[in-house]
Structure 1
Amino acid sequence: MTSETRRLQPRKQPRQVRAELTRQRILTAAAHVFAEHGYAAGTTNRIAERARISIGSLYQYYPNKDAILAELLTRHLDADKATDTLRRREDLPESLEDVIRLFVHTVIDNHLGDPELLRIFIEQAPRSDELLGRITRQEWAMIGQLRDLLDRHPDARVHDKDTAARLVVSTVELSVHQLIAAPGSIDVVRLENELVAMITGYLTADR
């Protein structure tokens, strides 16, 4: 384990319900504080005050605010259902357009919770080697599931399905991250419709 990984690790793994509830309060408070004040001004003192615990109690669980943000990012990754959506083949729609719509909708839905916090994840979240490895593995799992689907689906006309799967996953993930996290609102229904139309057209075009 590298020093950076250790720095981002929680100090205490709760074994009792009360301790787990305290950790949840810290994480919930931190999400609100980071979103309201920004990461630089989102101090551990503010987080402890919002969670209604002492700063000493907070430090029993997390050594610094970087570790708190790293855990919030980890939980964000845990909530990502896009890979599982593609994996459940028996539940997928028949048409390729509907499959892509389900995938895009799932990715968008996973990022709607708090756009301000999402922006902090993108721009400022600390990333240890362990966390970066997990992000990479999750991305490749998603690519692999989509690659298998394109290989089996009769409507997919792209010749290079490996590259196509990577392009689709990158396009959806990056577009959703950037546009939902950007200042100002975006109509998520229009975002979904345009992404689906663009990707379906690319995958099904005669070549």
Structure 2
Amino acid sequence: MTKRLEPRKSPRQIRAQETRQRLLAAAAHVFAEHGYAAGTTNRIAEAAGHSIGSLYQYFPNKDAILAELVTAHAEEGLTLIRRRLAEGPLPETLHDKLTLFVRATVDLHRDQPRLHRVLFEEAPRPPELLVTLHSAERQIVAMAAAVLAEDPSVRVADVAMAARLVVGAIESLVHRFIASDTPDDTERFSRELVAMLMRYLTCPESPGPADPAGPDRR
């Protein structure tokens, strides 16, 4: 990660660690309340109860703080999926396995929808941060591919691509739904999303387009 996005201080003492966490928590609140443009370091420092000089001891600018928040979000998503998959035997049906992935993603976005909107719709995404996000996505896709490959009801031929599509659809649609101004019925949304994915994964492969220059064409 470039110097612009690197934290200036990696605290070792408990008090310094607590200060850093207060700054990150305050930043999450400020960005959710005011958006990216108006989420200034002065507002963050004030919300945390620290001076602006204290903030700059830990972070060189607000983009470095945002990078920390986005990285934490990606790591939390990975941890949540891993934990749900490791809690016990996987559900027997494909429907319930998909529900596990959908509900984990909903739970990840549910608590701070306005912050997620800022992080993923307003804030810049430098290349270094995209590397982190893509790495997390690849790991979740790998977990999904392993689950789909072992389920006999999955009918798609290209399971690796199907896993990418499933994970991408869940992440994108959940984010758009939760970040909307009035997400009215999360359970109904989750059921319909799972039903959509079920139809895709269990539909027999359709033949490709006919070759216009095939053997019957003279």
Q: Same fold (TM over 0.5)?
A: yes
Match in the other structure for 1:32: 29
Instruction: Give the SS at the match of 2:37.
Output: coil
Change (3 A) 1:162 1:89: farther
Q: Residue by residue, what CA displacement relative to the aligned partner does 1:52-86 show, whole Å, maximum 9, x if unpaired? A: 11111011011111111111111111211454157
Match in the other structure for 1:20: 17
The answer to whether 1:111 aligns with 2:109 is yes
Change (3 A) 1:49 1:91: same
Identity over aligned residues, as a percent?
52
Q: Which ranges of 4 or more aligned residues in structure 1 deviate by more than 4 Å?
A: none
Contact 1:85 1:103 in 2 (8 A): no
**Stretch of structure 1 that moved more, 84-93 or 193-202:** 84-93
Contact 2:95 2:198 in 1 (8 A): yes
Contact 1:8 1:128 in 2 (8 A): no
For 1:7, the aligned partner's letter is R
**Stretch of structure 1 that moved more, 45-54 or 148-157:** 148-157
CA distance in 1, matches of 2:36, 2:21: 19
Q: Residue by residue, what CA displacement relative to the aligned partner does 1:125-165 show, whole Å, maximum 9, x if unpaired? A: 33333321121121112112222222211111112212211
Q: CA deviation at 1:120?
A: 0.5
CA distance in 1, matches of 2:130, 2:10: 22
Match in the other structure for 1:166: 164
Contact 2:84 2:104 in 1 (8 A): no
Change (3 A) 1:145 1:89: farther
* Structure index of larger Rg: 2
Match in the other structure for 1:177: 175
Gaps of 5+ in 1: none
CA distance in 1, matches of 2:89, 2:18: 35
Instruction: Give the SS at the match of 2:38.
Output: coil
CA distance in 1, matches of 2:169, 2:4: 32
The answer to whether 1:133 aligns with 2:131 is yes
The answer to whether 1:7 aligns with 2:7 is no
CA distance in 1, matches of 2:18, 2:89: 35
CA RMSD of aligned residues (A): 1.8
Contact 1:25 1:51 in 2 (8 A): yes
Contact 2:4 2:60 in 1 (8 A): yes
Match in the other structure for 2:93: 95
Q: CA deviation at 1:89?
A: 8.9
Gaps of 5+ in 2: 206-218
The two structures have a TM-score, normalised by structure 2, of 0.87
Match in the other structure for 2:72: 75
Instruction: Give the SS at the match of 1:63.
Output: coil
CA distance in 1, matches of 2:204, 2:99: 20
**Stretch of structure 1 that moved more, 168-177 or 152-161:** 152-161
Contact 1:105 1:192 in 2 (8 A): yes
